[in-house]
Structure 1
C-alpha cells in the first residue's frame, strides 16, 4: 500500500470489514454462538462470514516509544472472502439461527434446510406445500415455525409440521418465537396473532393493527413485542 493510499484511509477502513455482493443484501442473522453471520441476498443466495477478524484492530495497534502515540496500522491482507451458496430460492429467502453456529433456510421448494457455517446444505427439517416465506427456530425446546404465506406450521424436533391455521388471507410473512420458545407470534393482514406453543398450541390473543406487520421482534424477557 503506497503512502497516498495510507493517507486516504478512513477510520472505517482501519476498523471494519466490508464485502461486495452481486445482489443487494435483504436480511442477516448471527449464529447462536455469535461466531458466524449470514446474509440473505435478493438473488436467493446466502453469504456467510466468520465474526472473528483475522487482522483485528487490537492486533494492529502500535504505541510509539518516544511520544507514546497510539496508531493502527492498515490491514496487510484483504478480509477473508464470504462463503456463498447457490441460489436457494427466488429473491429474498427467510433465515433463522440454528444449533450453535448454523442456520435454517426456507426454500422455494417448501423445505427448511440446515445450512452449516461452511455453506454446506445438510438435512431438511421441515417440508410443506408451497414456498417458505417466513421461518424461525427456538433452540429450546427445539421447535421450528414456518409459513408459506397463508398457513403457519409448527414442527417439534424433526417431527411432521402441524398447521396452526388454515384458509386465511395470504399475508403471513413474519413470525417469531419468544425467548425460551414458549410463545409464537405471527403477522396477519391487519394485525398479530400470539400462540402458546409449550405443549398443544393454543391461541392467546389477536391484536389489530392499521397495517400488516413486516417484521416481529420480542423483548429479551418475552413480555413485549415490536
Structure 2
C-alpha cells in the first residue's frame, strides 16, 4: 500500500495541536495497565493499576469525523475545535489487588480476573457480575471472544464456557503459565511458561516448544506465526515447520510484540526506534534479514507499538509520553501526542482503525479519532 502520512489540518498557529483536536482525554488517577475493546466495537475498557476499570464509549457526539471540512477551492481539510464537553468515564470499584487481567467477553462487555482467582463480567454500563469467587490463584487469562475463556492456575490451564463457567478441557504444564493466547480461528491456545510454549488444541494432544517467556504472547492475524517477548528481545515461531528466529540486543525487554497483516511484518518495542522485520524474508539466520527501518531513531525508548489493522501504518508510544504514527519502512513520522514525561503503557487500535486508544503511567487515558484524510 503506497500512501503518505500528512497532517490534514492547518499549521499549529491557526488551530490547537492535532491531539487536542482529535482526542478525548481523561485523568484517571492511577497508571493505565492495559486497554481492551469489546467484541461489539462500541466500548473501550482501561485497566488501572489500582484494580479499577474505566469504561468509555467509542461513539463521540462531537467526533472529529463530524468536525472536519474540506475547502472547495484548495481541497485542504480543516478540523474545527470541539464544542461539546467530553463525557466522564464510568469507573468500577477495585476488582483486584493491583491491575486486573482484562479480556473481551464473548457474551457482553468484558471479563476481568484477579490474581486471587476472582472472575467478573463487566457490562458496558459498568455493572459487575461475578462469574466465580474461587480463591485459587490465577496467573493468566485469555478469551476467544466467542464465549470461551482460558484460565491458567498453578500447573494447569483450563478451558471454560463463559456462561456458567463449565470446565471443558484442561492442560497440565510444568509450572504456571504466564501468558495465554487464542489462535485467530479459536481452534488452539498458546500456553507459555518460563521455559516452554505449548500449542494446545483442547481435546487433543499439545506440542511443546522450548520458547519460554512471561509477556507479549501473540499470534499473527493469519495464524501462521507466534511471537513473545523474552529477556532483551523476542522470539518468532513459524507454525508450519516449527522454525524459530530469536531477535535480541534490545535496550529493554519488549513490552509489546505485534504483527501487521497489511505489511506482513512483525514489530516490537524496547529499542530507540520501531523494530520490525518482514515475514516475507524472516530473520531466521541473521537479524539484518528483512529488517524494516520505520520512523526515526532517537534517544528515548519505544515502549508500545500498535500496527494499524488494515493499513501498513504503525503507531508507537515512547517512554516520555510521545505518540507518533509512521508508514512501515519509512522514516517520516506524524506526531500525534507530545511528550509529557509519563511513559505510554498501552496503545490499541479499534478494529476498523478509526480510533487509537492511549494510556500512560501517569493515569492519562485518551481515545483519538483519526479521519482517513490524515493518511493520504
TM-score after normalising by structure 2 = 0.52
Is 2:11 the partner of 1:9? no
C-alpha separation in 2, matches of 1:163 and 1:193: 13
Kept in 2: contact 1:97–1:137 (CA 8 A): yes
Shift of 1:208: 1.1
Aligned to 1:208: 210
Q: Which runs of 5+ in 2 are unaligned?
A: 1-12, 228-376
Correspondence list, 1:7-86, <5 A: 9-62=16-69, 70-86=77-93
Greater RCO (Cα-Cα under 8 Å, separation 6 or more): 2
Kept in 2: contact 1:112–1:132 (CA 8 A): no
Paired residue for 2:190, among 185, 191, 194?
A: 185
C-alpha separation in 2, matches of 1:194 and 1:66: 58
Aligned to 1:131: 137
Q: Which has the higher strand share?
A: 2
Aligned to 2:199: 194
Q: 1:177 to 1:69 in 2, by over 3 A?
A: closer
Q: 1:205 to 1:61 in 2, by over 3 A?
A: same
Q: 1:21 to 1:83 in 2, by over 3 A?
A: same
Shift of 1:57: 1.2
Q: Which runs of 5+ in 1 are unaligned?
A: 1-5
TM-score after normalising by structure 1 = 0.82
CA RMSD of aligned residues (A): 2.6
Which is further off, 60-69 or 187-196?
60-69
SS at match of 2:21: helix
Shift of 1:44: 0.8
Aligned to 2:226: 225
Number of aligned residues: 214
Kept in 2: contact 1:143–1:181 (CA 8 A): no
Shift of 1:38: 0.7
Aligned to 2:331: none
SS at match of 1:13: helix
